[in-house]
Structure formats: structure tokens, C-alpha cells
Structure 1
Amino acid sequence: MMTVPVPGATVGVVGGGQLGRMLAEAASPLGVDVVALDPTPDCPAVPPATAQVTAAFDDAEGVRELAERADVLTYEIELADPDLLESVAADADVEVHPTPDTLRTIQDKLVQNRALEDAGVPVPDFTAVDDADDLEAAFDDLGSPLMVKARTGGYDGRGNAPVESVAEAREAFDGLDGLVAEELVDFERELSVIAVRGDGETATFPVAENVHEDEILRESVVPARTSEDVREHATAVARDVLGALDGRGVFGIELFERETDDGTEILVNEIAPRPHNSGHYTIEGCHTSQFEQFARAVCGLPLGATGLRGPAVMANILGDPDAEKRPADLAGAPDALAKPGVSLHWYGKREVRPLRKMGHVTAVGADRETLLDRARAARDATGFE
């Protein structure tokens, strides 16, 4: 492993959205600068990131400039090009974390499922779909309805759809090639674990319970409202996932908790090779945030403590589902901040769009149900003028 100078290191990150912004905020106290590559001028990460390379995620010259300015490369979006990162990093003599091989695995949901299955990690039953015959066979083998996913490019629920027929899948995906079909899991609750690999060490954060609507994360409750045995089981599965991936960094691992005749089952839904929305509670809720861990991990620094300061609830601030794209003028922030124990994070996006993640609130305290009510009230106090 290369030695990254701290203080004084520079992390080059492909992607300059809210994850890059919160990475830069957490890296600054460590004496670590962040340079973000993003196609949007004055992207949300800048400031607090030190600088921006304005270029597409797969722009060779832009990624080369990023590598020349960095001591280590990483990414906060799966649209990064693993082949380009690998080539440019070799020329600039810098490392990429997590590794390009991990990014390749995560970018393709079929490859991801096969890699996890080969490693003995539990996943829903699945099969590849490239034509109508494949999908009909999937209905026969896995039941109906099915969860069908685009193998590549899906994000925040886009590219996923439950379907009951070939015709419905054609309409949802504009064709049937490049898909993966999974059994539709009848789960008790959705969970997630933020897992971290550093230089020779690993760590996991407390298990979160996630509330989704229309495939978009709305709230995370921590600790998850399930038994301690289930939380330990979920953590063990997350550690097994780490064993199937390479490189230092933070991994958001989404899980299903399902009850079966043989007991509770934990299945991996998807993995993000970066900080994850469901881990935003760690900023106020844990001794070390997922973003500080991200900076520590990619720089090869010792990992921080992951324990809870206290129960926490995070609620996303989203664009109205029926609103047209318009300037992002947030109203109600003082009312949200007036709630006891509530913190507000604004992502610096200039335009609000339907269901776009614009910010979040976190409530920290003692009782999860009270905190959930408080976080929802704080979120609902905000809006866009």
C-alpha cells in the first residue's frame, strides 16, 4: 500500500454531489483536501471541497487531471469508469479505493449477485433475462410477480420494477435484454449496514431500519426496530459481503429481513461501494461518521469508533413528486431546526426536481418513536417556494 501524507493529503473523488460534499466536510479536520470531478459547474461538493475538475465522469483528460492532483482516487457515484480509473491511476502512480474490480462487480447487478452467491452470501433467487423466453422461465422458476432490474445504470429505484407479465416488463424497460429477475421478497423490514474496510482492519456501523416509498429512501431508524439477534445476523452478513469485495472504503449494504419456517433470514438486496443515504445518521449519531471513515479508509488511516452516541432517525428532504424543475429555494429551515435534537443538512443543489434528494434532517435522543415523529415533523416543516 502507498503511504498517503496526513495532514496534507489530497483525495480525488469522481462525483461531486452531496456525498462528495459531506466527504469534504469530514476530511477537512483531518487535514485532507478533496478535489471533485463532476460535469456540473460549481457542483454541490465545492465548497467545501478544495477544487473541482469540471468534466464528465468518463472523460479521460478530466480523470487524468484528477489523478495528477491526488494522492489517492475514489468515487462517490457508480457511473465512474473502472477501466479508465485503473489505467489513469497506474500512469499517475496512485491507488484507487475501493478497487476498480469492485466497481466493475457493483455496476452490474447480475455480476454482483453471482459474486455474492459464489462467496456464500445470501441473496434472493435470481436469473439473467435477455429475452421473453428467459422472463417466462423466470416466472416459472421464481414465481409471480418478479422484481426485475436493469443490470446497469439503476439508481434510487430507477431501473427496478415489480412485474407480473412479459408485456409489463417490456413497457417498464423498453425491451428485455440486459435485465436480471429476482424473486419478489416478502420481507419483514428493510435493513442496512454501513461496513468499512481500512488498511488491515474492518468495522461496521449499527444496523439501520429503512423506510422506502416508491423505491426512494424516506427515513432510517437506528438501532433498527428488530431483535438483537437479527441485528447481529445482519452485521455478520455485512462482514461476509466485505470479504467478497476488494479495496479500502465504505460500503452501503442493503438487506432484507425475512421470516421463514426455519427462522429469520437476512438477504442482501444491493451494495453501494461508497457512503450511503441510510448512513447519514452517523454524522450526529455515531462517534465517527461514515464520511470521516471514508476519508480515513481511502487514506489508509486507522478507523474510528462506530458506536452510537444515542438512537437516531434520519429523514430525507425530497423534491415534491409532482413539482416541475425549478430553483431550489428551501423554506421552513428555522421551523425544522427549532425541533429538539434536530440537525439539518442542505446539499447545495441549485434545482429541485421531483423526488430529488435535496437534504436531510437527523434527530438524536433517547426514544426511537419520539425521534421518528420529531424527524418527520422537521422534514415536513420544510418545502420549496
Structure 2
Amino acid sequence: MSITLPGPTLGVVGGGQLGRMMGEAVARLGVEVVVLDPTPDCPASPVVSDQIVADFDDADAVHELASRVDALTFEIELADPDVLTAASEEHDVPVQPDPDTLRTIQDKLVQKEALQDAGIPVPEFVPVATAEGLERVVEEFGGVMLKAREGGYDGRGNVPVESPDDAADALDSIGGDAMAEEFLDFEREIAVMGLKGADGETRTYPVTETIHREEILRESVVPARSDDPVIAEAEAVADDVLSLLDGRGVYGIELFETREEEVLVNEIAPRPHNSGHWTIEGAATSQFENHVRAVLGWPLGPTDLVAPAVTANALGDVDETQPATLRGVESVIAAPDAALHWYGKEDVRPLRKMGHLTVTGEDGESEADGEADRDALLSRARELRDGLTFRDA
């Protein structure tokens, strides 16, 4: 294909931190970005060409976006696949990944059933619609993770249920159709950022270890501190997932590593993902640049690791919503091994993702030294992150 600069214009449904980092990544390639987001002056707005202020599923607004761009994508699962398809067809603008893939992934039960039908390993799961049904499942499984079928992300819509007595309240808190998934005695959570390009080309980034607390990602460590057979299995599972899904772009594939060294799929995101933020400093091409390359049908960039890396999320450490002012930044700015990313959100609320920092090491250590280096990088990243606060001085 022939590529000329200035480049094409990309329309993105969603203008949060992912849209912001997408815009930052491709500005140097001459790609213009227009986002659609309901929040005026959304996080992406300072770094993209324009913003359409509208709900993610506003048909008129999505059609307006499609009329102004050369290709469409999305950075949030709240986009409407039917609206995207209609806008794509009317304005003869490709949308990637395929809206049918978005439709499958949006419903966690449908997603799990598709994976299971394809022979891809997943935890045991069942749909639940009543408190009585959930009580029976909790008794059978000895506790479950209750998940909203639609609308949940970043830990929202997930409720652990350990006793049948908690079933009714848990189901009420979900507020809709739900899926119950067995509790796993896992060794760690890991993830693979997968990539589908033109002509069916697929690539994967190195397997990443993801550390969660209260269902929210706190840190990512790459390479993952898993044994080689687990790494190989994770890569094989990720390849199978990519074969199942239609459409170009980046896919965040979240996985469980069990005590028995099995690898099971937790969830999939059809977009760049928090688990892959380390790629900005730690990989030859970031997930954000590669997502845009893939959506546009451009050649994919290399996904090789350039240095071990640990990313730590800066979350809201406040008790209630307030204007966002991050303090303690000077310690991260002064650190030669750290990079800070601010998401530009005006308000901070408890546990809201407001930014992240990435600490990188040196490549080329032995395997043992490499794991020790990752342990040290994790401690270093936590120390720098824990020096940040949104609390008043």
C-alpha cells in the first residue's frame, strides 16, 4: 500500500485516557484524530484535532464523526455496534475492530460462551437471573465472582459472593442480567496484548503479570514472573483468541495462571488496555501506535520488549469526588528511570484511574537476575507511586 503524509484522519468513539494516549502516539505519524465523548473537554481533547461532544451511542453524532474521517475505531465497549455498522456503511468508512466482535465481547456471558465453544479454556460459569439461582450456584461452587453481563469494566460490575446469604444483595447491586464464575485458586493474573493487522497478520506483546486489588489493576510487570511453560501456554491461548475474533486492532487478553499452571481466559477487551500501558516505554512500538496502524491497514510495528518494565497506576486516594490536583510529582519527574503519564481528568474520585508511571530496567540480564530485577522494579514503582497523592497538603 502507498502511505503519504499528512496522513488520514481517524475517528475514535471515546475520548478518555486511551483516546488521549492514542492521539499522543500517532501525532508524529501525521495522523489526525477526532474523538466522540460525552464529557466536554474530555481527557483526549488537548492532544487530538477535535472533539464531538455526545453520548457514545448517539447515532447522529457517530454519523457526523464518520462523515469527517477516513476510518473509525473505539476505545470503550459502550460504543453501539449497530450504530457503528450503520455509520460505516452510509459513509463508506471502515470500522475496526469488527462491530460483531464488539457485540460478542460487550456481553460477558456471550463472550465466555464463544470462547468455550471454540475450545479456549475458561473458568466454569453459569448465567444467573434470580437470587435463588445464585444461592444454588454459590453453594455448588463454594463462592463465585458475580459479573454484570453488560456495562462493567475496571472492576465495576464485579461482586464476590462467598455465602448464599449474600446472593440477593449482590444481585441487586449488579442491577441487571448477570453471570456467575467460579472462584479460582490462581497463582497470578497475567495478560497478553494481541494485535491483528491487515491480511490476517497477528502479533503478540510479551506476557505481562497484572496485580489487582479490589478488582482494580494496580501494577503490571513485564516480562511476567511465570515459568516458561506458562508463558508458552499463555501465548498459545492468546493466538487462539485472536483467531476467534474478527477485525483489526489491539486486543487486551486477560488471563488466569492457576496453581496447576493452567492458563484460563478471564476477559477480553477489543482495544488498547491498561495491562499494555508499559508498551509506551518498554516495547519497540506502543500498543496505541500499533492499534492505529492496524485500524488503518498500515504495516504493524515490532512488538519486541526493549527493557523490563513495571507500570503502577495512580488512583484516586480521596474519600469523595473533588477537583484533581496531583501532589508529589517532583519525585517521579526527577527519577531517571521513570516516566509519568497524566490522564487529564478534571475530577478525582475514590480509586479512579488518574494516571500511571512506568519504571524501566536494563535488558540483557540472566533469567535469575532478570526476575530479581523485576522484583526491584516493582518495589521502585510502588515507592514512586505511593509518593503521589490527591489529598490536600
TM-score, length of structure 1 as denominator length: 0.95
For 2:321 and 2:43, the matched residues in 1 are separated by 17
Corresponding position of 2:12: 13
Partner residue in 2 for 1:371: 377
> What residue is the counterpart of 1:207 in the other structure?
207
Q: Secondary structure at the match of 2:302?
A: coil
Distance 1:293 1:172 in 2: 39
CA distance in 1, matches of 2:213, 2:324: 22
Q: Which runs of 5+ in 2 are unaligned?
A: 363-372
Distance in 2, matches of 1:140 and 1:379, equals 40
Q: Match for residue 241 of structure 2?
A: 241
Q: Deviations over 1:246-283 (max 9, x none)?
A: 100100010000123xxx21000001110000100000
- SS at 2:166's partner residue? helix
**Post-superposition shift, 1:136?**
3.8
Matched, 1:72 2:71: yes
Report the counterpart of residue 88 of structure 1 in structure 2: 87
Q: Paired residue for 1:337?
A: 333
1:318 is aligned to 2:315 = yes
Distance 1:110 1:5, change over 3 A: farther
Contact 1:26 1:291 in 2 (8 A): yes
Unpaired runs of 5+ residues, structure 1, are none
Residue 336 of structure 1 and its aligned partner are, at CA, apart by 1.4
| Cα offset, 1:6, TM superposition | 5.5
SS at match of 2:36: strand
Q: Which amino acid aligns with 2:188?
A: R
- Counterpart of 1:170 (choices 168, 171, 188) is 168
Partner of 2:303: 306
**1:196 pairs with 2:208:** no
Contact 2:146 2:170 in 1 (8 A): no
| 1:95-134 pair list within 5 angstroms | 95-134=94-133
The equivalent of 1:151 in structure 2 is 149
Secondary structure at the aligned position of 1:331 is classed as: coil
C-alpha contact (below 8 Å) 1:313/1:375 kept by paired residues: yes
Once the two structures are superposed, residues 134-166 of structure 1 have per-residue CA deviations (whole angstroms, 9 ceiling, x without a partner) of 32442354x111111110111111111111344
Aligned-residue sequence identity (percent) comes to 60
Q: Does 1:283 align with 2:280?
A: yes
- In structure 2, the partner of 1:161 is 159
How many Å separate the matches in 2 of 1:115 and 1:153?
Answer: 18
State the alpha-carbon separation in 2 of the partners of residues 4 and 36 from structure 1: 23
SS at match of 1:330: coil
Give distance in 2, aligned partners of 1:218 and 1:212.
Answer: 5
Kept in 2: contact 1:339–1:374 (CA 8 A): no
Task: Provide, for residues 86-137 of structure 1, a one-character-per-residue CA deviation record: whole Å limited to 9, x for no partner.
Answer: 1111111111111110111111000000000111110001111112343244
- After TM superposition, the structure 1 stretch with the greater mean CA deviation from structure 2, 235-244 or 161-170, is 161-170
Contact 1:4 1:71 in 2 (8 A): no
- Tell me how far apart the structure 2 counterparts of residues 4 and 303 of structure 1 sit (CA, whole Å): 13
1:60 corresponds to which residue? Answer: 59
Question: What SS does structure 2 have at the residue aligned with 1:41?
Answer: coil
Residues 337 and 378, structure 1, Cα contact 8 Å, conserved in 2: no
Matches of 1:35 and 1:177, distance apart in 2: 33
Q: Is the 8 A contact 2:139 2:164 kept in 1?
A: no
Partners of 1:220 and 1:234 lie apart in 2 by: 16
Per-residue CA deviations over 1:208-227 (Å, capped at 9, x if unaligned) read: 10111100100001000111
TM-superposed deviation, 1:377: 1.6
Distance 1:122 1:187 in 2: 14
* Distance in 1 of aligned mates of 2:233 and 2:349: 38
Residue 365 (structure 2) aligns with: none
TM superposition score normalised by structure 2: 0.93
State the SS of the aligned residue for 1:383: coil
CA offset at residue 5 of structure 1?
Answer: 6.5
Tell whether the 8 Å contact from 1:159 to 1:173 is kept in structure 2 after alignment: no
Give the secondary-structure state (helix, strand or coil) at the position aligned to 2:45.
coil
Distance 1:74 1:220 in 2: 25
Secondary structure at 2:198 match in 1? coil
3-state SS of the aligned residue for 1:348?
coil
State how far apart, in whole Å, the 1-side matches of 2:234 and 2:6 are. 35
Deviates more, 1:128-137 or 1:195-204: 128-137
Q: 1:295/1:177 Cα in 2 relative to 1: closer, same or farther (>3 Å)?
A: closer
3-state SS of paired residue (2:186): coil
What is the number of residues matched between the two proteins?
379
User: How far apart, CA to CA, are the structure 2 residues paired with 1:353 and 1:173?
Assistant: 25
Contact 1:342 1:362 in 2 (8 A): yes
Contact 2:219 2:311 in 1 (8 A): yes
Offset, 1:198: 0.5
Q: Kindly indicate whether the alpha-carbon contact (under 8 Å) linking 1:4 and 1:299 is maintained by their aligned counterparts in 2.
A: no
- Looking at structure 2, the residues matched to 118 and 24 of structure 1 have their Cα atoms a distance apart, in angstroms, of 37
Opposite residue 295 of structure 1, the aligned amino acid is: V
Give the match's secondary structure for 2:262: strand
TM superposition shift of 1:378: 1.4
Q: Look up the equivalent residue of 1:37 and give its one-letter code.
A: L
1:338 to partner: Cα distance: 2.0
**Change over 3 Å in CA distance of 1:42–1:308 after alignment to 2:** same
Q: Which amino acid aligns with 2:361?
A: G
The residue number in structure 1 matching 2:349 is: 353
